[in-house]
Amino acid sequence: MGGAGFGGFADVFGDIFGDIFGAAGAAGARQRSNVYRGADLRYAMDVTLEQAASGFETQIRVPSWENCDTCGGTGAKPGTKPQVCRTCGGNGNVRIQQGFFSIQQTCPHCHGSGKVVSDPCSGCEGVGRVKRNKTLEVRIPAGIDDGMRIRSAGNGEPGVNGGPPGDLYVEIRLRPHDVFKRDGDDLHCEVPVSMPTAALGGRIGVPTLNGQAEIELPEGTQTGKVFRLRGKGIRGVRSNVPGDLYCHLVVETPVRLTDKQKQLLLELDALLKDPKHSPQTKSFMDRVKDFFQ
């Protein structure tokens, strides 16, 4: 495909900062009252967390408008020519008198183009352009996040009556991940750990975006304990250093126990009667007692 290469997206890094803050000004440039900038186009792109973290290149198919081959863009049937609009004399505007006021309006006959096509081209129905699709190469920068937009200048809809074209915006939609939740540059994940491991401590494997890591659980690790793995998050598009990975431990109560396992737990429970083994429970019971007195 006569792809536009990266040309249209070469300013991605420059634009993205402005766009993130909604500063993409490009308010419709109106030289004349009947000259309009083309509408912007939006393209929603679903992105996985892994893709967002590392950045990637892809191709997208977007609508584009080309001059009609049949009429060469005039909109007039081959062999005929567009005529100067008689209503406005070719300047695209008409003045109408309303009481004391003279109001300038876009010519209702030619819609501002100043020309009328009496014998429209069959290839484009008199518009002069035909809609096609084109392929654009898109470079998604590493660290991109949900809701961010990348602007490709000039790849929107064509302008009206010679106005500049609109822009194309690629809007990023981050897909939910099975393991990680993203919060800016940081990642969070829940790591289940068995009751005995939590009590005895030891090394456990935890996932990171670039492979397995290990953390050392101290003895008596409680559920909800958070371990931070520095730098194992995502380096955002505006960040110099990557964020962190927070592993939230969840101590899992064993289920579907056999009779023997139940028996052992009962024996263990009997050996844990000393409140020093369950300081949270003791503290809670003390507060409840105070509350009722």
Question: Rule CB under 5 A: which residues touch Zn ion?
Answer: 68, 70-71, 85, 87-88, 107, 109-110, 121, 123-124
The answer to whether 150 and 138 are in contact (CB under 8 A) is: yes
Distance CA 257, CA 159 (A): 71
Least distance (Å) from Zn ion to the CB of residue 92?
Answer: 6
Q: Which is nearer to Zn ion, 8 or 92 (CB)?
A: 92
Dihedral of alpha carbons 218, 221, 226, 232, sign:
positive
Of 134, 136, 241, 142, which Cα lies nearest the Cα of 186? Answer: 241
Q: Which is nearer to Zn ion, 124 or 204 (CB)?
A: 124
Listed in order, strand segments (DSSP E) in 16-55 are 41-47
Least distance (Å) from Zn ion to the CB of residue 144?
Answer: 40
Q: Which is nearer to Zn ion, 131 or 282 (CB)?
A: 131
Distance CA 126, CA 77 (A): 8
Least distance (Å) from Zn ion to the CB of residue 136?
Answer: 25
Count of other CB atoms within 10 angstroms of residue 95? 10
Q: Which is nearer to Zn ion, 78 or 184 (CB)?
A: 78
For residues 48, 233, 181 and 183, what is the CA-based torsion angle, rounded to 10 degrees?
Answer: -110
Question: Assign residue 86 a region: left if phi > 0, alpha if psi is -120 to 50, beta otherwise?
Answer: alpha
Q: Which is nearer to Zn ion, 26 or 160 (CB)?
A: 160
